[in-house]
Structure 1
Amino acid sequence: MLSAPPPRTIAGLVLAWAIVWFVLMALGGGSSWHFFVQGAAALVDVDDAVTGGLHLYAAAPVLQIGPLTFLAIVPLLPAGPLAALIGWQVLGAVAGLLILWLVRGLVPSWQRDAGWLALGAAYFLPVWMFLAVGVAHLDDVLALLLSVGALRAARAGRTWLTGLLLGLAVDAKPWAVGFAAMLLLLRGWRRQVCAAVALTVAVAVAWLPFFVADPGTSAALHYTIKNNSVSALHALGIHNPRTPPWDRPAQLALALILGVIAVRRGRWAAIPLLAVASRLVLEPGGNKYYIAGVVVGTVIWDFAGSRHDMPWWTLAACLSLFTARWIPMPDAVHGWLLVGLFLAAGSILLGAPRPVPESPWSLQTQSSTVPVR
C-alpha cells in the first residue's frame, strides 16, 4: 500500500492549488471593490458633515458592510484603489488558507490527517478564491475568518477571545451574529455570559457611534434588496419584489435556534453550516459568492463532525451550488438547490445525540494511546 505523502508535500500541493485559483480569479477580478473604496473613503472624510465620517450609513444605506471592514481598507488607500485591491486580494487568499489551518486544529491529529483536509481544500479553494479575489468581498472574508477563529477559541475554552472574535465578525458583516450559538460551547454559564458581554461590547464600540452621531443610520437596518429569481426565497413562493420586512429577523432566529439544537445534540461542528444555510434559505439575493460561506461550513462539518472518509459535503456544495451557477438551467432550480442545502444541513440534527468531546488541546496527551482510525 502506498504511504500518504508527508505533511510538507501536502501543504505544498494545497498552496500550489491556491495559487492557480488566485491567478484565475484575479484576471478581471475585484468586481465589487468599488463599494469598499467608496465606504472607506467616506469613513475617513470626517470633514463632510453630511455623507462622511459617522454619517456614512445614514447617507449610503446601500453599503451593508461593517465599519471594521472599511477600517481595514483605510491603511492601503494612499497607495490607490488598484494597489489596495491587489493587497486585499492577496490577504483574502491567505485568509482562506488560514481558515483551513484553523479547521485543522478543531480535532486531534489522530482523528483526521492533513491529507484528508487537503481533499476538502481541493473543493473549498475555488469557491473561496471567487469570494476573496474574483469579487473581492472583504466583509464576508473577514466575517468568515473571524467566526472560524471564534469556533476554535470556543473549543479551546478561551472565553473572552471567543466573544471578541464573534463581535469583530459582526463588525465586519452584520449577518455573522447568526454564529452566536458558538458561545454555548464554552463550559458553564458564567463563561458563556462573559463571552456574550465581550461580543456585545465589541459590537457596541463599532456600531453605536454611528447611531448616536446620526439617527438616520437606522435607515440602514431597513435597507432592502431585490428578490432574485434564483433565490430560495423566490423558489418557496415568496415573490415580494424586495426583501420582506420579516426576512432578516427570521434568518437570525432560525440560525440561532438550529445552532442551539446543534450544541445540545453534540453536532457543534455543524453550527457554521446551519447558520449559513438558515441565511440562504431566506435570502432574497442570488450572488454566487454567498456559497463561500457554505463551503466554510461544509469543510468544518466534513472534517470535525462527519464520520465519512471523504469530504462529501464540501464536494456536493461546490458542484451543486457553485459550479452549477455557470450551467444553463431554469432559475428556480438554483433556488431549490439552496432549499435542498437547508434540508440536508437540518438532517444533521436528526441523528442520535453525541457527547460533546473535549477540546483537541485537552486530548493531546492522549493521542499516543488512541488507535488511528
Structure 2
Amino acid sequence: MLDRLMDARRLLTPRTVAYLVLGWAAAWFGVMAVGGGSSWHFFLQGATALADADDPVNGGLHLYAAAPVLQIGPLTFLAVLLLLPAGGVLALLGWQILGAAAGLLLLWMVRGLVPRWQRDDAWLALAAGYFLPVWMFLAVGVAHLDDVLALLLSVGALRAARTGHGWLTGLLLGLATDAKPWAIGFAAILLLVPGWRRRLAAGGVLLAAVGAAWLPFFVGDRGTSNALRYTIQNAPVSALHALGIDDPRTPAWDRPAQLALALTLGALAVWRGQWAAIPLLAVASRLVLEPGGNKYYIAGVVVATVIWDYAGARPFLPWWTMSACLGLFVARWMPMPAVLHGWALIALFVSACVLLSSRRPFESTTDESRPPGAVIGAPALPPRR
C-alpha cells in the first residue's frame, strides 16, 4: 500500500501539483465567499475612523480610546484604506482575493524554509488540502484581514531568520504586531538570527516598528490605554473554561500570561533545536489561555502545523495539519458538548510541549550546499523505495 502511494506521488509533477492546489483554493474561495465577510464591518469602522482625523472624539489618534473593541492594529486599517476608495463592497472583495492569495504565498514561504533537496511539493500539496479550507474561512468567510497579515508577516519573519536576514526579521515581526497585537508572541523567532549583535539589532528594529505604529495613539489620547484592558467573554468552548477558570470575561492576568508562555516555550524550542515548533508553541500558548471561542482562531493553528509537519517532523502524512483541521476546525460544526472543544485545545498545547522532549542539532539558517541526508535542524525526507 505504501509503495503504491509513493509511486502515485512520483507521477505528480510540480505543474500538476500547482494546478491541484490552485483548483482546491479556488473551490474553497467560492464556498466561503457566499455570505462571506462577516467581520468586515469592524474593519470599515476602524479604517473610516482612522481616516477622519478632524473628529476630536472618535477619529484619528482617538480611534482606540473611543472604540477599544477594535483589537486590530493600525497597519490593518491602513491596508483597508488602500482599497476603500473603490467602495466598501469592492474593498471587501479585493481583500478577500488578496487574503486568499496570501494563503498560497504562505505555502510558498513554508516550502522555502528547508533546502531544495528536502522539498517535496506533492507532500506539501497534501498538507495544503487541509490547510486551505481553514485559511479560506479566515481570509474570505470572516475576512479577518488583521490575522491574515499577522500570520503572513510572521511566517515571512521566520523565513528571513532562517536565511540570516536579521533586520528584515525584526521589521516583519514588528509589522505583524502592528497588524494584530498578539503576533508579538512570535518574537522568539528573533533567536534564530545568527549572532547576538544581529539579534539585538533585529530586536531594536522590532521595537522601533511597533513604537512607530502604536506610540502616536498613546501620545495623542491617554484613553488609548483603555484598549489594553479590554476584555471579552469567556466562551464555553474555550480551553480557559475547560481548565475551570470560569471568570465571565478575560482575567486580568490572562494576556500577559499568554505572552510569557509563548516567549518562554519559543526560547526553549530554539535551545532544543526545534526551531520549526516556534509558531506552533506560540499559537498553542495563546489558545490554551484564550477566553474567546472564534472558529477563525484555528487558522493560526494550521499555519503552525504546516510549518511543523513540513519543516520539523516530516512524517509520511501531515498528521498535525490533518488533526488540526478535522479535530479543531471541522469539529466545531459537529454536535458535541462545548467543553470537548476546550479540551481539544488543551491537548494541542500539551502535544506541542511534548515536542520539546526531543533535541536536534541546531542551525539557524538554511544551507543549500549540504548533500541530502545531512542534518540541519529539519530532517531529510524519508528514503524513497
TM-score bracket for the superposition, by shorter chain length: over 0.9
Give 5+ residue unaligned stretches, structure 2.
1-6, 375-379
Give the TM-score of the pair, scaled to structure 2: 0.94
In structure 1, C-alpha distance between the alignment counterparts of 2:240 and 2:129, rounded to whole Å = 30
Amino acid in the other structure paired with 1:314: T
Deviations 1:290-310 (A, max 9, x none): 000000000000000004121
Q: Deviations over 1:262-281 (max 9, x none)?
A: 00000000000100000000
Change (3 A) 1:358 1:211: closer
Task: Decide whether the 8 Å contact of 1:4 with 1:115 is kept in 2.
Answer: no
Residue of 293, 318, 322 corresponding to 2:325? 318
Which residue of structure 2 lines up, in the alignment, with residue 364 of structure 1? Answer: 368
Q: Distance in 2 between matches of 1:273 and 1:93?
A: 22
Does the 8 A contact of 2:149 with 2:176 survive in 1? yes
Q: Which of 41, 50, 55 is the aligned partner of 1:34? A: 41
Which residue of the partner structure matches residue 344 of structure 2? 337
Query: What is the identity, as a one-letter code, of the residue corresponding to 1:230?
Result: V
Query: For 2:305 and 2:158, how far apart are their aligned partners in 1?
Result: 14
Which aligned pairs between 1:1-373 and structure 2 lie closer than 5 A? 1-2=7-8, 3-351=10-358, 353-357=359-363, 359-360=365-366, 363-367=367-371, 373=383
Q: Percent identity?
A: 70
Deviation at 1:359, TM superposition (A): 2.6
> 2:133 is aligned with what amino acid?
P
Q: CA–CA distance in 2 between the matches of 1:135 and 1:366?
A: 43
RMSD: 1.2
* In structure 1, C-alpha distance between the alignment counterparts of 2:151 and 2:373, rounded to whole Å: 35
Q: Deviations over 1:282-338 (max 9, x none)?
A: 000000000000000000000000041211000000000000000000000111001
Q: Do the aligned residues in 1 keep the contact of 2:192 with 2:364 (CA within 8 Å)?
A: no
Q: In structure 2, what is the Cα distance between the partners aligned to 1:183 and 1:77?
A: 34
Q: 1:108–1:367: 8 Å Cα contact kept in structure 2?
A: no
Q: Deviations over 1:98-134 (max 9, x none)?
A: 0000000000122231111101100000000000000
Task: Please report how far the alpha carbon of residue 234 of structure 1 lies from its aligned counterpart in structure 2 after TM superposition.
Answer: 0.3
Alpha-carbon distance between aligned partners in 2 of 1:193 and 1:369, rounded to the nearest angstrom: 33
Deviation at 1:141, TM superposition (A): 0.2
- Partners of 1:122 and 1:152 lie apart in 2 by 22
**How many residues get paired?**
370
Aligned partners of 1:367 and 1:48: how far apart in 2? 62
**What 5-or-longer segments of structure 1 have no aligned partner?**
none
What amino acid is aligned across from residue 88 of structure 1 in structure 2?
Answer: W
Q: Deviation at 1:355? A: 1.1
